[in-house]
Amino acid sequence: MIPISESVPKRRVPWVTSTLVLICLLLFFYELMLPARALDRFLQQWGANPQLILLALAGDPGVPRSELLTRFTSQFLHGGWLHLLGNMIFLWVFGRAVEDYLGHAVFLVIYLLGGAGAGIFQSWVSGPNSTIVLVGASGAIATVLGCYLILFPTAW
């Protein structure tokens, strides 16, 4: 089922939600313009490598702690049209109400930390030998959906 709207009235302009959607769209169009090798390098640099994430969390001296920043940058990259559109539709439909309720700053912090936490969990599930780069906002979107369900349990 693809949501097209929800019933919670909004009082404020959802500029954080709008900006997140715009950034994801612009970066995806940038990804589409890159030749295959450049796209690979781009995703390796800005996507989250589970092996490196786990090593950085463990304090491995061979892996810079800055590798953990990819848990944030990878949230703005997507692996294909369906991945992007699915995430952005759910973000747009449900994120506006959550942002309106929580406020812009709190919404942004919850979105980014929820996505980062989900990525760390996925890195742990993937295991220390996985080098498949993680991209996408699915963890952050799941966080937004969880907030929506808690904040508006009777909304349709």
Question: How many CB atoms are located within 10 Å of the residue 73 CB?
Answer: 14
Encode the chain (156 residues) as per-residue pLDDT tens digits: 678 778 888 899 999 999 999 999 999 999 999 999 999 999 999 999 999 999 999 999 999 999 999 999 999 999 999 999 999 999 999 999 999 999 999 999 999 999 999 999 999 999 999 989 999 999 999 999 999 999 999 988
What are the two backbone dihedrals, phi and then psi, of residue 60, each rounded to the nearest 5 degrees?
-60, 125
Closest CA to 102 of 139, 155, 154, 150: 150
C-alpha to C-alpha distances, 1 to 5, 6, 34, nearest whole angstrom = 12, 13, 32
